[in-house]
A and B are shown apart, each in its own frame.
Chain A
Amino acid sequence: MFGNLAQLPRYRGLIQSLVARELKARYRGSILGFFWSFINPLMLLLIYTFVFKYVMPAAVKGADPYPLFMFCGLLPWTWFASSLMESSGVLISGGNLIKKVLFPAEILPIVTVTANMIHFFLALPILVVFLIWYRAPLTVPELLCFPLVVAVQFVFTLACALILSALTVHFRDIRDILANVLTLWFFATPIIYPYLSIPETAKPFMRFMNLNPFAHIAISYQEILFFPGPFGHWKWLAALGVASVLFFLFAYWVFDRLRDSFAEEV
């Protein structure tokens, strides 16, 4: 397993070209092309802002300006959720490669997660515009933590993607289950509502919030970019970082275990 893992850097060039291809191919043929990377999150933002500002404003007390708050959690979530959705099918749709070309299969989920990360980066300029517009209380030490959050999220997402992609080869049902799990996960994570605004009635459930890895990622982003005051969540983030690395090793082990079956199953 570690031998295979050590080989991965050799495929840097390939991963790079495949990510570039993924990005180029995605919007090829559409008129607005690459601008969809901006428009899509903006649309989502518009919808949620409308719902939570005008339809049920009570739910989001303590998150003002709401669009900025939501953006801090929504962009990373989009990266996470679309990475998982895409990587669940990536070995099957890339079956031709696995069956006919000598090719380390883990490259496919890696490319998926990386391509979605680039999309995340491409959407960041809008976030910057929002931050400036709303005069967000940013501090330099907090901003320096931002790449750390991204790194933790990358490792965590990659681990999930590896496991999902490998298991989906054997259980195609995972793709359908995943769509539902992601919806639930989205609402269970403080993205569209702030953690602190959770009403008393829901508190019993919130005990589990700490077990939700993505909650820590979302809260970290929000503390850094949105909430004034120091980045108090860093301990959780550090713990999650360590856990993610372990989880990644486990995921890679599972993937490696199932590797030989891919060429026959996809």
Chain B
Amino acid sequence: MTDGPAIEVSRVSKIYRRYSHRKQFATLKSALLSRSLISNLRPDETFTALNDVSLTVPRGRTLGVIGRNGSGKSTLLKLVAGITKPSTGTVKVAGRISALIELGAGFHPEISGRENVFINGIMLGLTKREVARRFDEIVEFAEMKEFIDAPVKTYSSGMYMRLGFAVAIHVDPDVLLVDEVLAVGDEGFTHKCLDKFAEFKRRGKTILLVTHALGLVERFCDEALWLDAGRIKGSGDPKRIVGAYITDVEHREEQELAAGDAKARETAARAVVSPDEPAAAVLPDNPIETATGPGDMFRAAEGRWGSREVEITDVTLAAATGEPAHVFHAGEPVEVRIRLRAPLAVDDFVVGIGIFNAEGVCCYGTNTSIEQLAPERLIGDAEATFAIESLDLVEGTYKLDVAVHKVDGYPYDYHRLLHTFRVKSREKDVGIYRPRHTWRFAGDVRFKQPPAESRDRQA
């Protein structure tokens, strides 16, 4: 074997054709008569999945490819696997490839697992004798001993995938292409797969990994590549690239939430103002009951109502920097700024706020009346800021209720679930509330050194 790189992709573009029924005839004719398959199609009928992508993976390295859905990751993998041809550019791969793209593709449901293992192995490039030699290992890896002689159609989807994975991994490739297949089987099996990958790495094999599991990329890959809309947006150190990618995702979410908020507010603004609506029950007095009762699920719909004697003109969420934001990290300080306008003076007013999670469960609710603030006077433009020192919520999307009403509940202006924000957290803890906490241990209790990644996080 030569010393060149294991995978070399240079200036590759992949253009998919999309055409109407009528156009198909023209395409077939041109396919047969001329070589210019793509060039005589109009641009609105093509879709560029990859745009001028170049990359090199040296032998023995592991490259993780990340990016949003539709960014061209799988297309790249298929090109490297040789399943599709690039529209322009060249792809060179040295050595035997095994592509874990679709596990068990080509299994025939009617015949036994045993026969399928043989056929699948041969399809992936082994000889019959090679499959026979590895057969026991494959079956053991797939944990399928009892079922190997049953027809594949009787397998559960997990069994199917495991067997497919086991065959593909035992092909003993020089270059392994993996497309989001670590989600096969249970936790135990996933670990086994990862161990197998690690073994491949140790043996100096090249791996190209397409995944949404960013932690895996950071932990496992020597290098990361970030694809966005068919172009390379970054490549290099996995931690740096994953970090940049996460920031970008948050930025997009931020924009989406802002757009969603604006839309919700617009809808609410057009809604009929009905002061008689007995809406006040929602907030401060009994927020939890309102949010959880099944009859109230319907009432949990977003909306806006009230007499508008006092109007909420604007609601802004702001991060520590003071910048308006919609995405926050757990533990950050957050401010909710409520701009109010009272054309005439009022002396009976309560400002309230409620935080609901995506299931509609009230995580927290309070108002000025509960907190013993006796109203005296409100007139003209004013601002109320609800400052949270530390946003101790678990990861997820949350909605806000914001209201001004009388002490007896008569609503001036009630914003029901109109404002959305998202909490990001690297801890995947569960529940609705994260108390400030630490762990302490007494006696002979010891933990292993945390892996590099989590040390970084603490630093």
Contact = CB atoms under 8 A, between A and B. Distances in A.
A3 B85 CA distance: 17
B14 to A, nearest CB: 10
Contact of B24 (A13, A102, A170, A258): A170
Contacts of B111: 21, 24-25, 28
Contacts of B99: 100-102
A64 to B, nearest CB: 43
Contact of B84 (A24, A28, A96, A260): A260
Contacts of A29: 110
A91 B7 CA distance: 29
B102 A96 contact: yes
A129 B254 CA distance: 80
A205 B76 CA distance: 56
Contacts of B27: 170
B78 A263 contact: yes
B105 A101 contact: yes
A257 interface: yes
B16 interface: yes
Contacts of B122: 13-14, 17
A17 B119 contact: yes
Nearest to B109: A25
13 contacts: A14-B123, A21-B108, A24-B115, A25-B108, A28-B110, A28-B151, A96-B105, A96-B106, A97-B106, A97-B123, A100-B83, A102-B83, A263-B84
A102 B151 CA distance: 25
A130 to B, nearest CB: 32
B123 A260 contact: no
A260 B85 contact: yes
Contacts of A171: 24, 28
A87 B27 CA distance: 22
Contacts of B106: 94, 96-97, 101, 103
B31 A261 contact: yes
B202 interface: no
Binding site secondary structure of chain A: helix
Interface string B73-91: 0000010011111000000
B124 A101 contact: yes
Given A13-B128, A94-B106, 14 more contacts: A18-B119, A21-B115, A21-B119, A29-B110, A99-B102, A100-B83, A100-B102, A100-B105, A101-B83, A101-B101, A170-B31, A263-B83, A264-B16, A264-B17
B118 interface: yes
Binding site secondary structure of chain B: mixed
Contact of A25 (B28, B78, B81, B110): B110
A102 B81 contact: yes
B127 interface: yes
Contact of B123 (A99, A101, A258, A264): A101
Nearest to A25: B110
Nearest to B85: A260
Interface of B: 16-17, 24, 27-28, 31-32, 37, 78, 81-85, 97, 99, 101-102, 105-106, 108, 110-111, 115, 118-119, 122-124, 127-128, 151
A254 interface: yes
Interface string A226-258: 000000000000000000000000000010011
Nearest to A98: B83
Nearest to B121: A17
A219 to B, nearest CB: 33
Given A260-B84, A261-B31, A263-B78, A17 B110 contact: no
Contacts of A98: 83
B118 A17 contact: yes
> In the complex, which range does the number of interface residues on chain A fall in?
20 to 34
A258 B16 contact: no
A18 B27 CA distance: 32
A17 B28 CA distance: 33
A8 to B, nearest CB: 15
A29 B110 CA distance: 8
B108 A99 contact: no
Contacts of A103: 106, 123
Contacts of B85: 260
Nearest to B124: A101
A7 B37 CA distance: 25
Contacts of B81: 102
Interface string A149-169: 000000000000000000100
Contact of A17 (B31, B32, B128, B151): B128
B178 to A, nearest CB: 13
A99 B78 CA distance: 8
Contacts of B83: 98-102, 263
Contacts of A167: 28
A234 to B, nearest CB: 35
A147 to B, nearest CB: 27
Nearest to A102: B82
A108 to B, nearest CB: 11
Contacts of A258: 31-32
Given A96-B105, A102-B97, A263-B78, A13 B17 contact: no
Interface string A6-38: 000000011001100100110011000000000
B149 to A, nearest CB: 13
A97 B99 CA distance: 12
A98 B124 CA distance: 12
A101 to B, nearest CB: 5
Contacts of B115: 21, 24
B99, B118, B122: residue with the most chain A Cβ atoms closer than 10 Å: B122
A263 B85 CA distance: 9
Contacts of A13: 122, 127-128
Contacts of A18: 119
A151 to B, nearest CB: 26
B41 to A, nearest CB: 13
Contacts of A170: 24, 27-28, 31
B92 to A, nearest CB: 15
Interface string A83-109: 000000000001011111111000000
Contacts of B128: 13, 17
